[in-house]
Amino acid sequence: MTALSPLLFSLVNSSKMNSFDVIIIGAGASGLMCALTAAQRGKKVLVLEHEKKAGKKILISGGGKCNFTNYDVSADNYLSQNPHFCKSALSRFNQYDFIALIEKYHIAYEERQFGQLFCIDSAKQILDMLLTECYLNKVNILLNMSISNIEKKDESFSIKTSDNHFNCHSLVIASGGISIPKMGATDFGYQIAKQFQHKIVRTDPGLVPFILPDKLLSQTKQLSGTALNATVSCNDKIFNDNLLFTHQGLSGPVILQISNYWHHNDTVNINLLPLDNLSDSLQQAKHKNPEQYLKSFLHHKTGLTKKLIHVWLSDNELDKKLKHLNEQNISDLHQRFHSWQVIPAKTSGFRIAEVTRGGVDTQDISSKTFMSNKINNLFFIGEVLDVTGWLGGYNFQWAWSSGFCAGKHV
């Protein structure tokens, strides 16, 4: 099957069709998955989206290729105050269930490192697939909708928009986190959660670059654009991947990963030579090639750029030959390259963070149905919840899994 494009949706006539089985707020990854799943069960579904386009984050994800899932998904790839919460949904709609959908639509995909799956052509294919499934199952999607009020009256929810009024039996909040407001992100989900007495776990930017303090930045700024493989650890978590020096600090996949575990004032430990043992190789080289300059040894043995070596060595060390290194010098160098200790000033913030850490507290949400334990037939799915995935397709998998499970129960 191929995706229909452009897609047309039935427009809701306010006077005749304002009652629905299910209304979903947010036409993003989790909202569309929930909509198509509920509609496949014969439910009359309306999705309300305040942007003029559905699925904006899907379109820009994975550099336009959407890292839609990962071959290796488990609860270990997620952060939450309740680390068990995500298990049930991830097993009931897993990565292979989503891959089956992709394959049904003949969307070409490829595996990159660490089991990450990306579209070969375009992220738009994923959005088109979801919209096509919604269209075929008669989901109504209204864009440009500004919701002004939500109330629960007896057994139904009443939703007011700027110029319309809708009712539904089940209300699903799929409005995402607050990262990248430019893409339509709002704190709407948290406001509704609070209105219905749900707690919010403190929110912070996740999968986000670090800004370094001025003093450190004055040294590293000149390396802006330099990338290298590094192992980075913080708060007992460790990742290995590429690190990128930027004009503001540090970025690259390994930094985004560790940012999920970083809190203000925490030290980040960075090993710039994860595959070497500098102390051993310096000892050997000192005997084998005593006349070699330290800077030239570092460049040729480790592959570090000359620019980085210039920043990392003192003026005195730049002129040193290997034969002049004593035990203390070797130990200092080992420490400096294998264990660079950094205390970032802050992160780059929600403006560019890929995800929001924290969110609606899962302790009052059913991990099977995603229904609120406080309010009957109110559901929360996707990133609005206090469940945050690693970089690597885990956040979309959470959106698909939670959207599917709620779609089966609304």
What's at 196, amino acid-wise? F
Q: Using the rule CB under 6 A, is 175 a contact of ligand FAD?
A: yes
Q: Using the rule CB under 6 A, is 184 a contact of ligand FAD?
A: yes
Shortest separation between residue 32's beta carbon and ligand FAD, angstroms: 8
Shortest separation between residue 189's beta carbon and ligand FAD, angstroms: 7
> Which ranges of 260-393 does DSSP label H, i.e. alpha helix?
278-288, 294-302, 306-312, 315-318, 327-338
Nearer to ligand FAD, 249 or 393 (CB): 393
Q: Using the rule CB under 6 A, is 27 a contact of ligand FAD?
A: yes
Shortest separation between residue 183's beta carbon and ligand FAD, angstroms: 6
Q: Using the rule CB under 6 A, is 330 a contact of ligand FAD?
A: no
Q: Give Cβ neighbours of residue 238 (< 8 Å, ≥ 6 apart).
A: 231, 232
Q: How far is CA 364 from the centre of its chain?
A: 23
Residue nearest ligand FAD, CB atom distance: 28
Q: Give Cβ neighbours of residue 328 (< 8 Å, ≥ 6 apart).
A: none
Shortest separation between residue 49's beta carbon and ligand FAD, angstroms: 5
Residue 236 CB neighbours (<10 A): 6
Q: Using the rule CB under 6 A, is 354 a contact of ligand FAD?
A: yes
Stretch that binds ligand FAD, among 23-31, 214-222, 255-263, 269-277 (CB under 6 A): 23-31
What's at 373, amino acid-wise? N
Shortest separation between residue 102's beta carbon and ligand FAD, angstroms: 14
Exposed/middle/buried for residue 124 (C-beta within 10 Å: 0-12, 13-18, 19+): middle
Nearer to ligand FAD, 56 or 338 (CB): 56
Nearer to ligand FAD, 184 or 344 (CB): 184
Evaluate whether 199 touches 239 at the Cβ level (below 8 Å): no
Q: Using the rule CB under 6 A, is 357 a contact of ligand FAD?
A: no
Exposed/middle/buried for residue 13 (C-beta within 10 Å: 0-12, 13-18, 19+): exposed
Give the span between the Cα atoms of 264 and 277, in whole angstroms: 31
Stretch that binds ligand FAD, among 49-57, 258-266, 301-309, 369-377 (CB under 6 A): 49-57
Distances (CA, A) of 21 to 17, 140, 410: 11, 12, 8
Q: Using the rule CB under 6 A, is 407 a contact of ligand FAD?
A: no
CA atoms within 13 A on the CB side of 374: 16
Stretch that binds ligand FAD, among 124-132, 174-182, 225-233, 370-378 (CB under 6 A): 174-182
> Which residues of this chain interact with ligand FAD, rule CB under 6 A?
25-31, 48-51, 56-57, 60-62, 66-67, 147, 174-176, 179-180, 184, 186, 188, 354-355, 382-384, 393-396, 399
